[in-house]
Chains A and B, each alone.
Chain A
Amino acid sequence: MDLQITLLLGQDGITNGAIYALLSLALVLVFTVTRVIFIPQGEFVAYGALTLASFQAGKTPGTLWLLAGAGILVALIDLKIALAAGARQRIARILLWNLGYPAAITVLIFLGKPEGWPLAAQVLLSLALVVPLGPMVYRLAFQPAAEASVLVLLIISVAVHLALVGLGLLFFGAEGSRTPSFSDAALQLGSITVSGQTLWVLGSSLLLIAALYQFFGRTIYGKALRATAINRTGARLMGISTVMAGKLSFLLAAAIGAFSGILIAPITTIYYDTGFLIGLKGFVAAIIGGLASYPVAAAGALLVGLLEAYSSFWASAFKEVIVFTLIIPVLLWRSLTTHHVEEEE
């Protein structure tokens, strides 16, 4: 293993690590706010990438029908509750977001013919299509059980994951897709070439992390999310809606997931079930951060990425084994160093 190989592997590891970092941040966010271990995080990665690939192939992505279907379900449930409570002023809003929005996207796709659009517009349309699925999933699957134990929420999470993977197979088929890279530019750094897409991944990840930092520190919604994460009941007493916090965290998680998928689709082939493994590696990183610390999770993600790259060189058959075994010493160390008091059960 000479210097060049070391550098190339390092570059590969950091690129993958950046994606794992984004996903681990989303996982920490969702867990702290809603106590949901968000296994379907990876499905948003696959949905984002494959929706974009469908647009480029001139096909109508199946996620459109999922958005429409979920919208109708949410509208029905919310309308029933609103009518029962006599809150007529909510009806227009419910109809607008759950029926009007999917209808507008549908019209846009069928009349706009997105296969001819520039890449940036296609990316935005894919995000506009996939991201709202996040809050809808929260509304349908998690909100009715928001006060349940972590274990129940985890079981729901597994169920949602299986359902979304199955739908992914139905929508996109079993074979994978790739999308063209954002730019063909390449950077020459000494003896190695860094591709434009790698720079995009790293740049976007850093930018997103900075944006999230600002969001949590500076905005009222970010502070509301933090308050809910620190103390659910306390936040509620201060007038913060936990439902709003839940939906917002799922919105962010879906946005991060879908965007990560779009970022890596030019580098690797994405399948309907690719997301699970990527999400799981993000989860290993989130565990390193104790499902609580953002910076430690991000550092853990880089560690996972690098470990993966170097072990694929030295012992490729055992790569996954090495990455996932990392969790055991981390858990040991965590359980020895933290004195955690269970707040429930």
Chain B
Amino acid sequence: MKRLLVVTLIAGYSTLALADVKVGVIVGATGPGASLGIPYKNTFGILPKTLGGEKVEYIVLDDGTDPTNAVTNAKKLVLEDKVDLIIGSTSVPTALAVVDVANETKTPQISISPLPGSNGKSPWAFSVPQSMAIMMKANLDHMKLNGVKTVAFIGFADALGDQIFNGFAPQAEAAGIKIVVAERYARTDTSVVGQVLKVLAAKPDAVLLGGSGTPGALPHITLIERGYKGPIYQNHAVVNKDFLRVGGKSVEGAIVPTGPVIVADQLPDSNPTKKVSLQYIKAYEGMFGPGSSNAFSAYSYDAYLLADRAVAIALKKSKPGTPEFREAIRDALESTKELVGTHGVYSMTRTDHTGVDSRAVVLVRIENAGWKLIK
């Protein structure tokens, strides 16, 4: 037993001596966010063995989509594993929970889920996904173009539903579009007939849906079943293959804002993200099979790209495993300029830790069980 302990200690020191870059990854691969968490996690299996030119070790922990677990995982990663950077977590509440730990321990965090609210404005936290406002603006522009005056909303009765609604409502109001009904449902609900009937009774020009993954298909299917004929706008959280499988014919014709990576092969060559996206798709589908690439794992890939650049710069200033190195990563992330990723082109500043613009959104229409770019 004693000998074993000595051996482990030596092993521990020897890894320290090598000073690999250590990245802690927190994902919600189980629990209610599992459908997004699993692809988010998969990306870390296809990444190169180096980060910023230095050998890298990814320590991937599952938080079960539970903020308490996310905090425990983050503390473990920082205090025990001495990571230089945290990537994660994959849902809004868990990612926000990690922000506190990142702040406290002065560890840079790249969140692969949006970080809404004031808590997300921490100097140590960065986030990859497009803000809800940018995504909803694309929907709104399309509505304005097509003369939509009234909109009904059906979304999740949770943080995501609120976020989508709050990303849409203020802009819609400013544009003179009225939200006539706002209804909620739970991810595990077996029926949304009540909500849909209320929407139909209000006779809106268009319906905006705020669910994610396959549960996002339920109100969509019910609307069509109950004879709704108007346009349906979705949000980017439904963009996966399973949504199309479960939604089937009902979701045909829906309009969805998403990152350009989803329709990379349909983009003109002039689009800067096309090349990076095709690289990512090749690597991901090489590992997980044709058609497996998706928006969520692409966010993880963009987090890797951001980290790759920042670590390369930080390595010139300091050594992995030190507080100076962590600070150098943070500063380097803040200086990101026109970094091309799969979802957009990232330019961070001291005050902007999201750093994407309208180049990070495309509108697609669901046609023949696939995503078709709306030109």
Q: Which residues does A use to contact B, with CB under 8 Å? A: 1, 5, 8-9, 12, 15-16, 166, 169, 173-178, 264, 267-269, 271, 273-274, 276-278, 308-314, 316-317, 319-320
- A313 CA / B198 CA spacing, docked (Å): 6
> B residues within 8 A CB of A311?
194
Asked whether B133 is an interface residue with its Cβ less than 8 Å from the other chain, the reply is: no
Question: Quick one: which of A15, A175, A316 contacts B184, CB cutoff 8 A?
Answer: A316
A145 to chain B minimum Cβ distance, whole angstroms, is 27
19 contacts between A and B (CB under 8 A): A9-B193, A169-B34, A176-B246, A178-B246, A268-B190, A271-B188, A271-B214, A273-B188, A274-B188, A309-B194, A311-B194, A312-B185, A312-B193, A313-B195, A313-B198, A316-B157, A316-B195, A319-B184, A319-B194
Neighbour of A269 across the interface among B37, B184, B185, B246, CB < 8 A: B246
Is B240 located at the chain interface by the 8 A CB criterion?
Answer: yes
* Contact between A12 and B194, CB atoms less than 8 A apart: yes
Chain B residues contacting A166 (CB-CB under 8 Å) are 30
Contacting A at CB under 8 A, from B220-242, are 240, 242
Does B331 belong to the interface (CB within 8 Å)?
no
Q: How far is the CA of A276 from the CA of B188 in the complex (A)?
A: 9
Does any Cβ of A come within 8 Å of B32's Cβ?
yes
A12–B188 contact, CB under 8 A? Answer: no
Q: How far is the CA of A319 from the CA of B186 in the complex (A)?
A: 9
Residue B218 lies at the interface, judged by CB distance under 8 Å to chain A: yes
Contact of A177 among B186, B190, B246 (CB under 8 A): B246
Say whether A316 contacts B185, CB under 8 Å: yes
Prevailing SS type, chain A contact patch:
helix
A176 close to B197 (CB less than 8 A): no
Given A8-B197, A308-B191, 19 further pairs, Cβ under 8 A? A5-B197, A15-B191, A169-B30, A174-B35, A174-B213, A176-B214, A176-B215, A178-B248, A264-B190, A269-B214, A269-B217, A274-B190, A276-B188, A309-B193, A309-B194, A317-B183, A319-B184, A319-B189, A320-B157
- Point out the residue from A8, A173, A176, A273 that lies within 8 Å of B193, measured CB to CB: A8
- Quick one: which of B88-108 are within 8 Å of A by CB? none
State the Cβ distance, A159 to closest chain B Cβ, in Å: 16
In the complex, which of the residues B192, B242, B248 contacts A312, with contact meaning CB atoms closer than 8 Å? B192
User: Is B195 a contact of A273 with CB atoms below 8 Å?
Assistant: no
Using Cβ atoms and an 8 Å threshold, which residues of chain B touch A178?
246, 248
Q: What total of A-B pairs shows CB separation below 8 Å?
A: 98
Measured in the bound complex, the distance between the Cα atoms of B197 and A174 in whole Å is 29
Q: Is B201 an interface residue (CB 8 A)?
A: yes
A169 / chain B contacts, CB cutoff of 8 Å: 30, 34
Bound together, the chains give a CA A312 to CA B193 distance in angstroms of 8
Q: How far is the CB of B210 from chain A (nearest CB, A)?
A: 12
Most central of A169, A312, A313 by chain B CB within 10 Å: A312
Q: How far is the CA of A308 from the CA of B240 in the complex (A)?
A: 30
Contacts of B240 in A (CB 8 A): 175
Contact indicator A175/B246 (Cβ below 8 Å) = yes
Asked whether B184 lies within 8 Å of A5 as measured between CB atoms, the reply is no
Q: How far is the CB of B249 from chain A (nearest CB, A)?
A: 12
Among residues of A, the one whose C-beta sits closest to the C-beta of B192 is A312
Q: Smallest CB–CB gap between A3 and chain B, Å?
A: 12
A271–B190 Cα distance when bound, in Å, is 10
List CB contacts (< 8 Å) of B138-174 with chain A.
Answer: 157
Instruction: List chain A residues, Cβ under 8 A from B201.
Output: 1, 5
Q: Does B180 contact A (CB under 8 A)?
A: no
The 8 Å CB contact of A313, one of B197, B214, B246, is B197
Q: For the complex, is B38 an interface residue (Cβ under 8 Å from A)?
A: yes
CA distance A180 to B210 in the complex (A): 26
* Residues of B with C-beta under 8 A to A9: 193-194, 197
- Within B1-41, which residues are at the interface with A (CB < 8 Å)? 30, 32, 34-35, 37-38
Establish whether residues B215 and A12, one from each chain, have CB atoms under 8 Å apart when the complex forms: no
Q: Which residues of B contact A320 (CB under 8 A)?
A: 157, 186
- Bound Cα distance A309, B197 (Å): 11
